[in-house]
Structure 1
């Protein structure tokens, strides 16, 4: 997985991330700034989901993106 593509296109990706995880705020996304660990931590904080499950969900989300 090449997460660098997400980081490099973060402004465009924020909308897609909010579609998947709508509890994340614009401020959350600005703070995350494309960093995967930060994204997973905020999802865990907002949704109360276990870290290993979040990791899988982020992987699944990434795989569904048409640009990778």
Structure 2
């Protein structure tokens, strides 16, 4: 996911205006933290967030 993270981040910000750069900070090995932040912000489940990220 890291390789094209900038593209994914841009798409997420377009789709979900409430997301900030801080919400979308991705650090190697911290994928679970990112998913947790997105769950809190978007009110979606872990599986839904993971699928959304994988589909982008």
Uncovered stretches (5+) of structure 2, i.e. residues with no partner: none
Superposition RMSD on alpha carbons, in Å? 2.4
With the length of structure 1 as denominator, give the TM-score of the two structures: 0.54
How many residues are treated as equivalent by the alignment? Answer: 54
Uncovered stretches (5+) of structure 1, i.e. residues with no partner: 62-68
Q: Deviations over 1:11-60 (max 9, x none)?
A: x4332331233221122234x34643233211101011111111111111
Please say if 1:52 is aligned against 2:43.
no
Q: Give the helix-richer structure, 1 or 2.
A: 1
Change (3 A) 1:17 1:33: farther
With the length of structure 2 as denominator, give the TM-score of the two structures: 0.61
Match of 1:24, SS state, is coil
